Amino acid sequence: MRNRRPAAVAAVLATATAVAVALTGCATSSTATPDSTGSAEGDAQTVTVGIDIPFHPLYAYLTAKSDEIFADSGYDIDFEVLDATTLVPSFGRGDIDIVTTVPSFQPRIKDQYGIDTQFFYPMARWTPGSELYVAGDSDIQSIEDLAGKKVAIPPLATRFGAEEAAVLATTGETIQDYFELTETDAAAQELTLGRADAAFIEAPATAPLIEAGFRPVYNVQEAFEEEFGDPAVLSGGFIASNEFAEANPEVIDLIVQATQDVWTQFQEDPDSVLTVASDETGIPVEQLELVSQILNLAEMPDDQKIVSETDVATWSAIFPLLVEAGFLTEEPEDPASMFIVTE
């Protein structure tokens, strides 16, 4: 965590929560893919991208500028914010063409909706991801010291499997077996009140803990790097069905290129992106700037702003861990087919 103001970070959380609540159930999506129903002859055809992160600066910029960015593309590409609980079901029903989620949910989408999917552009990586925090005066120095100890974590049903895979990779045991685990929406409070020896927390909620003298002893990204040699494991990004991606490669290319261009613009002139994103979301620029720090948007190197063969190899190794941990019911038959590697 790099010199972030806890009060300002708390404001980010409060604002983001308010935005998410305000948008819950409000986003509607009626879409026609270019190769199916479409619009009247001569009109741009609609492609709908569903997102659940209204405070991500790059998403917000794309949402605000989509008409301008894709004006001459022959497509009307709409970015719509949906509540996190309805995003994937909307994709499963076919209400949206492209969804933003994590690779660990791709097998779940296949299992629940029978849809094969491909991940084609990253918008976040686990750096450092969820961390195990302990009291500053605790004698606990590592995850090894927490074997059998009380650990609090947000409900696993609301998570993406990262903690489950990381703990299994590190210890050889499931998260439930290795710790005396408490699943709660108040994991940080369990720690601060002394009812847990440690808690899995991630930024920006780590800021007040750091301010209060709590410290991390383990994080998801370091576990994955030690296990797989991957310095920044791919997490959230754009996903489309195989059917859509294969029928509409030009749409995939358009979105990848547009996102790369916006990300480059952000890294060269962040205010030009943050100002537009703020106007779109109603979130102050300084709070969006803090979000960008948490997501490491400014410092992300070019080789991590793509889907790479390293990403494919890492996720091919993570999927079996997620099955063993109980997050998934079975491994994907061909993990490599679930990613469109950026050329």
Task: Give 118-138 pLDDT, tens digit per residue.
Answer: 999 999 999 889 999 999 999
Those residues whose C-beta lies under 8 Å from the C-beta of residue 144, and which sit 6 or more positions away, are: none
Q: Cα–chain-centroid distance for residue 223?
A: 18
Bridge partners (DSSP) of residue 200 are: 132
Please report the pLDDT score of residue 334 as a whole number.
96
The full length of the chain comes to: 343
Calculate mean pLDDT across residues 235-241: 96
Phi-psi region of 172 (alpha: psi -120 to 50; beta: other; left: phi over 0): left
Number of C-beta neighbours around residue 312 at 10 A: 20
Angle of helix 6-23 relative to helix 285-294, nearest 10 degrees, comes to 100
Task: Give 286-321 pLDDT, tens digit per residue.
Answer: 999 999 998 999 999 999 999 999 999 999 999 999
Distance CA 20, CA 204 (A): 16
Distance CA 315, CA 336 (A): 9
Q: Which residue has the higher pLDDT, 267 or 85?
A: 267
> Is pLDDT above 90 for 1?
no
Task: Answer yes or no: are the C-beta atoms of 232 and 297 closer than 8 Å.
Answer: no
Distance CA 213, CA 103 (A): 34
Single-letter code of the amino acid located at 43 = D
Phi-psi region of 234 (alpha: psi -120 to 50; beta: other; left: phi over 0): beta
Task: Give 22-53 pLDDT, tens digit per residue.
Answer: 322 333 333 333 344 344 445 778 999 999 87
> Is pLDDT above 50 for 86?
yes
Task: Answer yes or no: are the C-beta atoms of 168 and 175 closer than 8 Å.
Answer: yes
Please report the pLDDT score of residue 238 as a whole number.
97
3-state helix, strand, coil in the chain (%, to 5): 50, 15, 35
Nearest to 321 by CA among 178, 169, 128: 169
Which band of pLDDT confidence, cut at 50, 70 and 90, is reported for residue 203?
confident
Bridge partners (DSSP) of residue 47 are: 77
Which band of pLDDT confidence, cut at 50, 70 and 90, is reported for residue 19?
very low
Which band of pLDDT confidence, cut at 50, 70 and 90, is reported for residue 233?
very high
Calculate mean pLDDT across residues 225-248: 96
Which band of pLDDT confidence, cut at 50, 70 and 90, is reported for residue 85?
confident
The pLDDT mean for the chain works out to 88
Q: Is 56 helix (H, G, I), strand (E, B) or coil?
A: coil
Least confident of 33-37, 124-128, 154-158, 193-197: 33-37
Secondary structure element (H or E) that encloses residue 181, with its range: strand 180-183
Nearest to 251 by CA among 92, 70, 18: 70
Single-letter code of the amino acid located at 5 = R
